[in-house]
Amino acid sequence: MDLPSAARSGLLPALVEAHTRCGAIDASEAGRIAAGLRMPAALAWEAASSFPDFERETARGAEPVCVGPACLAAGAIAGPGQVAVECQHRCFEAPAAGEDAPFPESAIRLAGPLLAPEDTDWRGLDAARASGRDGVLAGLERSGLRGRGGAYFPVASKWSAALARERPLALVVNAEEGEPGVYKDRALLCRRPRRFVEGLAIAIEALAPAVTVIFLNGRAQGAMESMRSALESHGDILPAAPRVVRGGGGYVLGEETTMLNAIEGRKPVPRVRPPFPVESGLWGMPTVVNNVETIASLAVIFREGAAAFRARGTAAAPGTRLLSVSGAVARPGVYEVEMGVTIARVLEMAGGPAARPIVAALAGGPSGGFLPESTFGTPLLPGQLHATGAALGAGGLLFLDSPAAVRKTALYLAEFNAAESCGKCTPCREGAPRAHEMLASGNKAGLEDLLEVMAVASLCGLGQMAPGPIRSALHFWPELFA
């Protein structure tokens, strides 16, 4: 059975509203929502109970204390009157406590064209409008822009593939940013929202989508308020107001097909591909999914010109990108760097070690891996940085200053991936918890085989990449897990 899409797509906004009002959503509340939407209660509860944020009673009166990887490495622990919460994406001030707050300008440590002070005109949009759809696609092609979400797929190719279907299409902005240790899209939305709106206008100009959705992390209150304000102030440059949808938690929600299911009011789990979203995505429409940094980069490209964009970075990976730098460095925060910069140079820009010498960097968070200081000459480029798993990913870089911190972080990430597994496929659902147990106990017989099965047989990136932190930690620091 399928339901009219209009009714079903009202489910997630209704769940978010109920969670805000009630603190948690139980089956009876889901049933009331379902009745209002004229959908079966079982379908509403199936979706609601799959979002981790909706199950939990909001900790009223208790102060949230972040125990994400950067805060954990900084010694975070919840005391009396406090409650431990997952990464609050404020790693630049680890250990972080309190509610979500607007991203501070002071945590932007290095600005390039993307994070430069905002302009007062719309020169990028004007240039895009003057060149038309074909001109925008040609400009994108010349710029060499690759998506900044982690897969680094060429943006011009993705747009062309969706347009080639010659059907009404959807544009979805991925502002979920649920990866622990990453906060650069929050920085953009809070501090440079006008640049994001200009980029969005350029994308809409070229793609002429039938529907535009911005999917925002449900806990990113500061980014939500800043973006809403920018859309109110500058929305006149958009042909129609985009629909803004907030999530309900879960790392896998950042996976694009999971996000499409969530927007449609379905259980937030990945879809089997093919078809890919550019073929059949939101409500079956060809769908372009780009993240906030990718969208904002459009404003830079059409303002400065494709050649200027291409002059930065490397031939294969042009432009700048935002890094979320955290951990044991003197100046954690967001750094706009040219693609291809080395980890050693980033460490130097971040002021070097805060106290003790740095022994390792975690690149790519739960879907990446650890690198020892001896490899810090590695350039940060799309794809794997080391065969054991480290990857540039969404641009998270956590510096650690002791082997004990490496062990603690590796165990945290193994447990995190197990907890975040949506359970749809067996290799990840059964493999991730078992891999965590084996790593923690030191009984590693068969662990490498298990990791290999997870990497090749899991349905989505969460299970496929979860072996990275384990493999890399074991490869470089086997003595920590004996």
Q: Is 462 in the site for ligand SF4 (CB under 6 A)?
A: yes
Q: How far is the CB of 416 from ligand SF4 (least distance, A)?
A: 12
| 479 SS3 class | helix
Cβ of residue 456: shortest distance to ligand SF4, in angstroms? 11
Question: Per-residue x/- marks for ligand SF4, 376-415, CB under 6 A?
Answer: ----------------------------------------
Residue facing ligand SF4 at closest CB distance? 463
128 closest CA partner among 293, 1, 302: 302
Determine the residue type at 280: S
Stretch that binds ligand SF4, among 28-36, 196-204, 453-461, 467-475 (CB under 6 A): 453-461
User: Could you tell me which stretch among 74-82, 335-343, 388-396, 421-429 binds ligand SF4 (CB under 6 A)?
Assistant: 421-429
How is 214-274 classified by DSSP, letter by letter?
EEE-TT-HHHHHHHHHHHHHHGGGSSSPPEEEE----GGGGSHHHHHHHHTTS-S-PPPSS
Task: State residue 62 phi and psi, 5-degree precision.
Answer: -90, 140
Give the C-alpha separation, 49 to 42, whole Å: 10
Q: How, if at all, do strands 396-400 and 360-363 pair? A: antiparallel
Q: What are phi and psi of 101, to 5 degrees?
A: -135, 155
Residue 117 amino acid letter: P
Return the range that interacts with ligand SF4 (CB under 6 A); candidates 60-68, 82-90, 154-162, 456-464: 456-464
Please report how many Cα atoms fall inside a 13 Å half-sphere around the Cα of residue 359, on the Cβ side. Answer: 13
Q: How far apart are CA 370 and CA 349, in angstroms?
A: 20
Which stretch, 26-34, 170-178, 197-205, 455-463, contacts ligand SF4 (CB under 6 A)? 455-463
Q: Which is nearer to ligand SF4, 4 or 423 (CB)?
A: 423
421 binds ligand SF4 (CB under 6 A): yes
β-strand pairing of 108-110 with 170-175: unpaired
Confirm or reject binding of residue 436 to ligand SF4 (CB under 6 A).
no
- 29 to 10, 17, 45, 229: CA distances (angstroms): 15, 11, 9, 31
User: Could you tell me which stretch among 31-39, 199-207, 350-358, 424-432 binds ligand SF4 (CB under 6 A)?
Assistant: 424-432
Distance CA 413, CA 405 (A): 12
- Give the residue with the Cβ less far from ligand SF4, 358 or 465: 465
Work out whether 434 is an interface residue with ligand SF4 (CB under 6 A). Answer: no
Nearer to ligand SF4, 115 or 253 (CB): 253
Distance CA 397, CA 407 (A): 17
Phi and psi for 445 in degrees, rounded to 5? -60, 120
266 part of the interface to ligand SF4, by CB under 6 A? no
User: Measured in Å, how far apart are the chain's first and last C-alpha atoms?
Assistant: 52
How many residues of this chain bind ligand SF4 (CB under 6 A)?
Answer: 15
Q: Which stretch binds ligand SF4 (CB under 6 A): 208-216, 234-242, 352-360, 452-460?
A: 452-460
Other CB atoms within a 10 A radius of the CB of residue 35 amount to 12
Find tokens 């070690």 and name the residue: 353
Does 435 engage in binding with ligand SF4 (CB under 6 A)? Answer: no
Instruction: Give the shortest CB-157-to-ligand SF4 separation in angstroms.
Output: 25
Q: Of the ranges 57-65, 175-183, 315-323, 454-462, which one interacts with ligand SF4 (CB under 6 A)?
A: 454-462
The one among 299, 390, 425, 435 contacting ligand SF4 by CB under 6 A: 425
Binding mask 222-261 for ligand SF4 (x = CB under 6 A): ------------------------------x---------
Least separation, in Å, of the C-beta of 264 and ligand SF4?
17
d(CA 137, CA 94): 41
Interface pick for ligand SF4 out of 424, 465, 472, 473 (rule CB under 6 A): 424
Rg (CA), the chain: 22
CB of 170 to ligand SF4, least distance (A): 22
What span, in angstroms and rounded, lies between the C-alpha atoms of 397 and 350? 11
Using the rule CB under 6 A, is 460 a contact of ligand SF4?
Answer: yes
Q: Nearest distance from residue 447's CB to ligand SF4, in Å?
A: 18
> Which one, of 322, 472, 326, 473, lies nearest residue 398 by Cα?
326
For residue 271, the minimal CB distance to ligand SF4 (Å) is: 9
Smallest gap from residue 102 Cβ to ligand SF4 (A): 31
Choose which of 458, 470, 472, 473 interacts with ligand SF4 (CB under 6 A).
458
The SS3 call for residue 305 is coil
User: What does the binding site for ligand SF4 look like in residue numbers (CB under 6 A)?
Assistant: 252, 269-270, 421-425, 428-429, 458-460, 462-463
